[in-house]
Structure 1
């Protein structure tokens, strides 16, 4: 299988100048393959958020090499990193971050609008199809405040798929949901992974959910231990 993401000796330090330099990631080497469904686990403060931000091109490593779909992603301009992010990556967060002034359908189309500055009829049809796929067709024109927490997270999940990403990075995507709703959201991501071949990396503290993934990647004190 092709490698969607490659990390080679990734290090990240903070501080410098008058503040002491503190390294929080210590030479991370990791490959994610096409179609994998992986969990990233580890205690609080282990560096999971920093690592996810680097993978998502939201933060630059201090050193090392990062490739997305074979393209180097270190040392690029902001515009070049944005292009790679829009082309290959989708994001799901613990708090759905839906825009309150826009409908569910409009929120799903936001990644396309952000990338192209315009939404076509084909894009609108795809957004409607995605909402229908997750049982929200009749809620397409509702505002986020009119949706339940689980419905809002389903909108966030299909929003991450709108631009057909190769890799979806999910940061505690079920952490703000009750047990059953969390299980339903997780099952939806698993279904999308199996049917569409989208690679998922899910940061989670839920050991039960992590155990159902194809692979568990454990980070402790800025080092991969499993």
Structure 2
């Protein structure tokens, strides 16, 4: 049986309080991902996708409910503990690449290793260079972000997310800044690493074609997960 990488149990998120009325954005979310899952999170704008991604990414805490990451309860973790858990278990690819402009592509890719372990080994450098080569960036490894195109910068961010062999990668429109050919190649790389290393992916996307290429789609609407569509439903 595949290892459970992520489990949400009755997760709710509210904002406001005091002089402002409470607004509940997520209403009792239950979600489980196991090693090797490749899941698209889809839904209209304002449905709560970003809030859910922030909770899973330990950037926010739930108002109610439980979040378990690699069998560890993280919903009441301290700030320091959440930081350590992010470095250990998670990789991130957001809409904006957040590369550090003073460092080269290779140095940016190695940042999660430095943050998590305090040093960079020859094996770490070898993995970084191999991943950059597999995304067509070998010749650009020693360039700084401003010397790269937008698509190249996003590919560096994707490689950085995979550097620590995370259990789970959270991706927000991971190919949104890439041309169709490069997007296809990057998606193929994500799938390859997903299958070879058992990394689970939760991908927020508005692209129906990309969502359809994932193993499973999770639909969020008005802060609630919709039940899976039945295969025998009309039009299904």
Shorter chain as denominator, the TM-score bin is: over 0.9
1:108-147 aligned within 5 A: 108-147=109-148
* Equivalent residue runs for 1:30-179 within 5 Å: 30-179=31-180
- 3-state secondary structure, aligned to 1:210: helix
**CA offsets 1:74-121 (integer angstroms, 9 cap, x no match):** 111111111111110000111211111111110000111122333233
3-state SS in 2 of match to 1:217: strand
| Larger displacement relative to structure 2 (174-183 or 48-57) | 174-183
Do the aligned partners of 2:154 and 2:177 also contact (CA within 8 Å) in 1?
A: no
Structure 1 partner of 2:13: 12
List gaps (5 residues or longer) in structure 2.
229-236
Cα distance between partner residues in 2 of 1:124 and 1:186: 23
Q: Distance in 2 between matches of 1:128 and 1:207?
A: 32
Give 1:204 shift.
Answer: 0.1
How far apart are the structure 1 equivalents of 2:28 and 2:179?
Answer: 36
Aligned to 1:29, what secondary structure does the other structure show? Answer: strand
The residue aligned with 2:231 is none
Pairwise CA RMSD of aligned residues? 1.3
Contact map agreement 2:92 2:171 (CA 8 A) in 1: yes
- Structure 1 unaligned runs (5+)? none
- Equivalent-residue separation in structure 2 for 1:80 and 1:44 (angstroms): 31
In the superposition, the TM-score normalised over structure 2's length comes to: 0.91
Q: Return the alpha-carbon distance in structure 2 between the equivalents of residues 199 and 82 of structure 1.
A: 20
Please tell me whether the aligned partners of residues 175 and 186 of structure 2 are also in contact (alpha carbons under 8 angstroms): yes
Kindly indicate whether residue 191 of structure 2 is the aligned counterpart of residue 190 of structure 1: yes
Moved over 4 A (4+): none
Counterpart CA distance in 1 for 2:184 and 2:96 is: 16
Q: CA deviation at 1:148?
A: 2.3
Q: What are the Cα deviations for residues 121-151 of structure 1, in whole angstroms up to 9, with x where unaligned?
A: 3322221222123232222111112222222
SS of equivalent to 1:66: strand
**Secondary structure in 1 matching 2:99:** coil
Question: Which 10-residue stretch deviates more, 76-85 or 184-193?
Answer: 184-193
CA displacement, residues 146-179 of structure 1 (integer Å, 9 cap, x when unaligned): 2222222221111111111010000111223333
Superposed displacement of residue 2, structure 1: 1.5
Whole-angstrom CA distance in 2 between matches of 1:120 and 1:177 = 31
TM-score (norm 1): 0.95
